[in-house]
């Protein structure tokens, strides 16, 4: 089994316990301070992932390789991020994978963008639309930190004015008025392409579903994903008191080719020889 050495320039996850983890960039000469003492990053460089490092107060941390969820949950935030439970459903139901071309709106802090880029690489592309330039600046930092910027094109544009790309595999919307984009999405998607919309309120869902039906989409489904953790301890195992409950409704649909208009038949006249 090949070992994985920690090198400068990478990100690591310093693990103390499930509630206390820290995403840190590996830089020579850097010192990372915690309430459990400071850690010299030089002591980590060259170690294998899974090794332990001891702080100045004698507390041991485990050095882990960050997962996609770590980059998402520890992203710099200017807006509410989408949770992994919802992102996972969006990825699976949208059908995207390596090589997929996806349009997304709005970008926000780039949490969903990061996940989409992870799954469309190495030769796919995510075109992410956002009207607020300050959000794009934050999103770019988060996506770069995850090492996925090569697979993303950030666009400071109002998606309700249209989608520039065509022949897309999926259009994914996380915005206040997704129903205004359904016709643009239909034009931009390849046949059988998928549209996914994430909305916090049911009123948004109703408007979106009606617009989908009017604009050539079929197989329309709306779901809500609730996630509850378990306290697992001998003699005390039970559901946790707190849970990540409602975050939003997810609506899925697929593009169907619209049937050609029915051929108009001229009324049959009466020929002279029919008399």
Read off the pTM.
0.86
Buried b (16+ CB within 10 A) or exposed e, 253-272: bbbeeeeeeeeeeeeeeeee
Ordered by where they begin, the domains of the chain are 11-66 (3.10.330.20), 70-255 (3.40.50.150)
Whether 86 has a pLDDT exceeding 50, the answer reads yes
Give the per-residue pLDDT at 241.
87
pLDDT at residue 93 greater than cutoff 80: yes
Residue 61 pLDDT level (bands cut at 50, 70, 90): very high
Residue 259 pLDDT: 67
How confident is the model over 220-235, as pLDDT tens digits?
999 999 999 898 989 9
Burial class (CB in 10 A: 0-12, 13-18, 19+), 221: exposed
The distance between the two most distant Cα atoms of the chain, rounded to a whole number of Å, is 111
- Are 40 and 31 within 8 A, CB to CB? yes
From the list 215, 213, 182, the residue with the least C-alpha distance to 197 is 182
- Please, what sign has the CA dihedral across residues 90, 185, 113, 122? positive
Q: What's residue 265's pLDDT? A: 62
Read off the pLDDT of each residue in 55-73 and give the average, rounded to a whole number: 95
| pLDDT band of 1, cuts 50, 70, 90 | very low
Q: Tokens 């934050």: give the residue.
A: 138
């Amino acid at each position: 089994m090949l070992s994985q050495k920690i090198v400068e320039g990478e990100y690591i996850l310093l693990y103390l316990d499930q509630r206390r983890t820290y995403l840190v960039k590996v830089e020579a000469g850097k010192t990372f301070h915690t309430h459990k003492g400071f850690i010299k990053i030089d002591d980590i460089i060259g170690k294998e992932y899974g090794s332990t490092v001891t702080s100045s107060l004698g507390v041991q941390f485990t050095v882990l390789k960050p997962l996609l969820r770590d980059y998402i949950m520890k992203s710099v935030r200017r807006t509410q991020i989408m949770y992994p439970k919802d992102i996972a459903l969006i990825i699976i139901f949208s059908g995207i994978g390596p090589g997929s071309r996806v349009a997304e709106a709005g970008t926000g802090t780039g949490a969903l963008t990061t996940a989409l880029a992870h799954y469309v690489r190495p030769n796919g592309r995510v075109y992410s639309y956002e009207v607020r330039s300050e959000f794009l600046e934050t999103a770019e930092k988060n996506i770069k930190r995850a090492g996925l910027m090569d697979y993303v094109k950030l666009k400071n544009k109002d998606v309700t004015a249209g989608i520039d790309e065509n022949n897309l595999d999926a259009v994914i919307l996380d915005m206040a008025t997704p129903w205004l984009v359904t016709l643009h999405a239909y034009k931009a998607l390849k046949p059988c392409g998928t549209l996914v919309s994430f909305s916090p309120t049911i009123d948004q869902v109703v408007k979106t579903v009606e617009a989908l039906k009017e604009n050539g989409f079929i197989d329309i489904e709306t779901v809500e994903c609730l996630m509850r953790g378990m306290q697992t301890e001998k003699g005390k195992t039970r559901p946790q008191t707190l849970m990540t409950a409602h975050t939003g409704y997810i609506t899925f649909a697929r593009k169907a080719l619209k049937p050609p208009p029915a051929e108009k038949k001229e009324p049959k006249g009466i020929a002279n020889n029919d008399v």
